[in-house]
Amino acid sequence: MLRDDNDAGLEHVRILGFSMATSLLLPRIFASCIAAIAIVFALAAGTALHAAEAPVVLVVGDSISAGYGLSSGEGWVDLLASKVTSEGCPYRVVNASISGDTTAGGRARLAGLLKQHRPAIVIIELGANDALRGGNLAATRANLDAMVAAVQAAGAKVLIVGMQLPPNYGAAYGREFGALFGDVAKARKTAVVPYAFEGFGEDLAQFQPDRIHPTAAAQRRILANVWPALSALLQRK
């Protein structure tokens, strides 16, 4: 059925009105979308900034803390980072551990790490490779002492994580090595975990085939040994 001219005119007016309304509304919709996107980015940036500003727990260790032989996220330091978050502690964990590192190596790179991360707490887990290579334990003690002194001079708290040697290294050498962690901690008045493998160090089922590095299942036991001493530092102002 044909429409008369009046109908056509009315239709034209309606179309024109819709077009004008749409042209006025679209910029507002676009502006609202831009504002929403900006808010999302601002919130994300704020979250990232907050995380970056959180005080740092810096772990300076060897393969035990670097997660040797483990998949990503399985090491005790990774578990520590998750626990710090789940416990609501306002800290972030930075793992600066290197497989094969010694107290001499840790001492050499510590200044750079302190400058880069400005940590509130430093966990030092070094010394095992010194002894496994039959090194001079007086040098190990001196390196560890120097590291603790440097961390304290930077205004951070220290947690020393100690180790022990298997009996085939000799009783006297093993005793001297096992004692030096507590000796340095006592002299420097700092926290210490005497033995990272306390409670499972003689259970070969908890270790990889090399009988040196703990399995993934044993990582929680390392964390359980470290956590009580560390949590006290996390709570201390």
Catalytic residue numbers read: 63, 210, 213
Residue with tokens 């005790």: 76
The single residue listed with the structure tokens 């001493």 is 229
**CA-CA distance, 110 to 217, in Å (whole number)?**
30
Cβ atoms of residues 178 and 185 within 8 Å: no
What whole-number distance in Å separates Cα of residue 74 and Cα of residue 14? 67
Q: Determine the angle formed by the axes of helices 137-153 and 171-188, rounding to 10 degrees.
A: 20
Contact between residue 121 and residue 230 where contact means Cβ atoms under 8 Å apart? yes
Pairing state between β 157-161 and 92-95 = unpaired
**Rounded-to-10 torsion of CA 58, 63, 65, 70:** 130
